[in-house]
């Protein structure tokens, strides 16, 4: 059974809009709607708000090191929350931890692993004519898969 996340949008119109002057140096509030059609988050639940969730540099380093050692991102998150003591004091979710690790891995691949892989495949092909490979790229010529 697939887990479905409930839609909690309320159609709240609360907003603030700013406008810059002619030179673009001074900003003023041009529109402000204060009324909300829902209760605001309590301090106890504020760690769940997107604006409050972020992986600090130190926590990111811990996540990178633990996952590089073969530990799952969720287990790394549990370690960090145990070290801090209370899950509410961890300013990111398990999903944020997983996404952080995936972004770091993607950045590594984009920064040179793909070209190293292609060089290795070409060397193997030169050494053995029977060896063949196929490379697939996206519209930006980034490696997406190989056979």
Kindly indicate the confidence band of residue 110, based on its pLDDT and cuts at 50, 70 and 90. low
- pLDDT tens digits, 4-23: 666 677 889 999 999 999 99
> Could you tell me if 55 and 97 are in contact, meaning their C-beta atoms sit under 8 angstroms apart?
yes
Residue 115 domain-assigned?
Answer: yes
**What pLDDT does 45 receive?**
80
Q: What is the predicted pLDDT for the residue at 76? A: 92
Q: Does residue 11 lie within any of the structural domains? A: no
* pLDDT score recorded for residue 111: 57
Pairing of β 27-33 and β 15-20: antiparallel
Q: Is residue 101 within 8 Å of 67, Cβ to Cβ?
A: yes
Asked whether residue 10 is assigned to any structural domain, the reply reads no
Could you please report the per-residue DSSP string of 103-137? Answer: HHHHHHIIIIIHHHHHHHHHHHHHH-TT----EEE
C-alpha 136/C-alpha 117 separation (Å) is 13
pLDDT at 129: 87
- Tokens coding 60: 């990111």
pLDDT digits over 35-89, tens only? 999 999 888 887 778 887 888 899 999 999 999 899 999 999 999 989 988 777 7
Q: How confident is the model over 103-127, as a mean pLDDT? A: 80
Give 104's contacts (C-beta < 8 A, 6+ positions apart).
60, 63, 64
**120 within a domain of the structure (yes/no):** yes
- Asked if the model's pLDDT at residue 91 lies above 90, the reply is no
Structural domain count of the chain: 1
Structural domain boundaries enclosing 137: 43-146
14: in domain: no
């Amino acid at each position: 059974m697939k887990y479905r996340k409930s839609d909690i949008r309320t159609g709240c119109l609360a907003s603030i809009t700013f406008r810059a002057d002619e030179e673009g140096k001074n900003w003023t509030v041009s529109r402000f709607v204060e009324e909300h059609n829902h209760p605001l988050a309590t301090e106890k639940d504020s760690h769940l708000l997107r604006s409050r969730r972020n992986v600090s540099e130190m926590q990111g380093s811990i996540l990178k090191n633990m996952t590089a050692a073969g530990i799952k991102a969720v287990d790394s998150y549990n370690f960090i929350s145990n070290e801090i003591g209370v899950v509410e004091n961890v300013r990111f979710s398990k999903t944020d931890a997983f996404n952080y690790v995936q972004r770091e891995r993607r950045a590594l691949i984009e920064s040179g692993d793909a070209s190293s892989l292609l060089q290795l495949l070409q060397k193997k092909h030169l050494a053995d004519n029977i060896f063949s490979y196929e490379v697939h790229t996206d519209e930006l010529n980034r490696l997406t898969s190989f056979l």
